[in-house]
Structure 1
Amino acid sequence: MTPHHTDKKILWTIFLTILIDMLGIGILIPVFPMLVVPHSTFRVTPDNWSAAQGFVMLGWLMTCFPIAQFLCAPILGQLADRFGRKKILALSISGTVLSYILFAIGILTKNLPLMFIARALDGASGGNISVAQAVIGDISSPQSRAKNFGLIGMAFGLGFILGPFIGGKLSDPNLVSWFNSATPFWFAAILSTINVILVIRLLPETLHIRSENRIDFTRPIHNIIKAFSINGLKSIIPATFLFNAGFTFYTTFWGVVLAEQFGFTQGKIGDFYAYIGIMVILAQGLIVRRLSGKVQDYKVLRYSIIGSGLCLIGYYFIPVSHPNLVYLLPPFMATCNALSMSFSAALITRVSPPQIRGEAMGINSSANALAQAIPAILAGYIATHHARLPVLVGGFTIILGGLLFRYLFKPGRDDIHGQEGV
Structure 2
Amino acid sequence: MGLEKNSTAQTEQAVSSAKPGAKLDLWKISPSLLAICIDAMGFGLVYPILSAIFSDPHSGILSAGISEQWRFFFIGLGYAVYPLFMFFGSSLMGELSDVFGRKRVLSTCVLGLSASYFMMAAGAALPSLVLLIVGRGLGGLMAGCQGIAQAAISDLSTPETKAINMSVMSIAYSAGIVIGPVIGGATSSSATVSFFSYWTPFALVGLISFACYLWILVKFKETTRAARTRRISVLLPFKVIAEAATDQRVRLLCVVFLLMQIGYSLYFQMILLQLQHEFHYSTLGLGLFSGLIGTFFVVGLTVVVRALLRRRTAAYTAQVGLVVAGVAQVASGLVHVQAGQWVLAMVIGAFDMVAYTTLLTVFSDAVPEDKQGWVLGVSGSVMAIGWVATGLLANLDPVLGDSWLIFLGGVFWLASYALMTRYVRKRDRGTAIPTPAVAEEI
Paired position in structure 1 for 2:45: 27
Cα 1:140–1:253, aligned 2, differ >3 Å: closer, same or farther?
farther
CA distance in structure 2 between the partners assigned to 1:402 and 1:9 by the alignment: 43
Give 2:331's match in structure 1, choosing from 284, 296, 314: 314
Greater alpha carbon shift after TM alignment, 259-268 vs 3-12: 3-12
Q: Is the 8 A contact 2:300 2:350 kept in 1?
A: yes
Aligned counterpart, 1:402: 417
| Residue of structure 2 in register with 1:283 after alignment | 300
**Displacement after TM superposition at 1:237 (Å):** 2.3
1:59 to 76, 84, 88: 76
CA distance in 1 between partners of 2:367 and 2:139 (Å): 27
Quote the Cα distance in structure 2 between the aligned partners of 1:292 and 1:82.
38
The range that moved more, 183-192 or 329-338, is 329-338
C-alpha displacement at 1:68, in angstroms? Answer: 1.2
Query: Which of 118, 126, 132 lines up with 1:115 in the alignment?
Result: 132
What residue in structure 2 maps to residue 362 of structure 1?
377
Instruction: Answer whether contact 2:72 2:397 (CA < 8 A) is retained.
Output: no
* Cα separation, 1, equivalents of 2:91 and 2:184: 30
Give 1:156 deviation, angstroms: 4.3
Q: Offset at 1:369? A: 0.9
1:350 deviation in Å? 4.7
Tell me how far apart the structure 2 counterparts of residues 406 and 150 of structure 1 sit (CA, whole Å).
Answer: 31
1:331 alignment partner in structure 2:
346
Which of 369, 377, 397 is the aligned partner of 1:382?
397
1:283: how far off?
A: 2.6
TM-score by length of 1: 0.85
Secondary structure, counterpart of 1:255 in structure 2:
helix
Contact 2:82 2:141 in 1 (8 A): yes
CA 1:98–1:384: 2 relative to 1, 3 Å? farther
Q: Deviations over 1:178-210 (max 9, x none)?
A: 211100000111222233345556666666897
How far has the Cα of 1:27 moved from its partner? 2.4
* Contact 1:352/1:416 (<8 A) preserved: no
* Equivalent residue letter for 1:21: D
Superposed CA RMSD in Å reads 3.5
Equivalent runs, 1:80-229 vs 2, <5 Å:
80-132=97-149, 134=151, 154-199=171-216, 213-229=230-246
- Point out the more displaced range, 30-39 or 309-318: 30-39
TM-score, normalised by the number of residues in structure 2: 0.81
CA contact (8 A) 1:308 1:337 kept: yes
Q: How many residues align?
A: 415
Counterpart AA for 1:174? A
- Secondary structure (helix, strand or coil) at the match of 1:35 reads helix
Where in structure 2 are the equivalents of 1:235-274 lying within 5 Å?
Answer: 235-274=252-291
Check the 8 A contact 1:74/1:359 in 2, yes or no. no
Judged with a 3 Å threshold, the aligned counterparts in structure 2 of structure 1 residues 287 and 71 are, in CA distance, closer, same or farther, namely: same
Correspondence for 2:386: 371
Residue identity in the other structure for 1:402: Y
Q: Identity of paired residues, percent?
A: 20
- Give structure 1 stretches of 5+ with no counterpart: none
Letter in 1 for 2:242: I
Distance in structure 1 (CA, Å) of the matches to 2:396 and 2:51: 15
CA distance in 2, matches of 1:345, 1:250: 21
Deviation of the 1:351 alpha carbon: 4.8
Moved more, 6-15 or 335-344: 6-15
Q: 1:103–1:119: 8 Å Cα contact kept in structure 2?
A: yes
Match for 1:324: what amino acid? Answer: A
For 1:245-273, what per-residue CA distance to the aligned partner results, in whole angstroms no more than 9, with x for missing partners? 22121222221110111111111111111
Structure 2 counterpart of 1:340, one-letter code = A
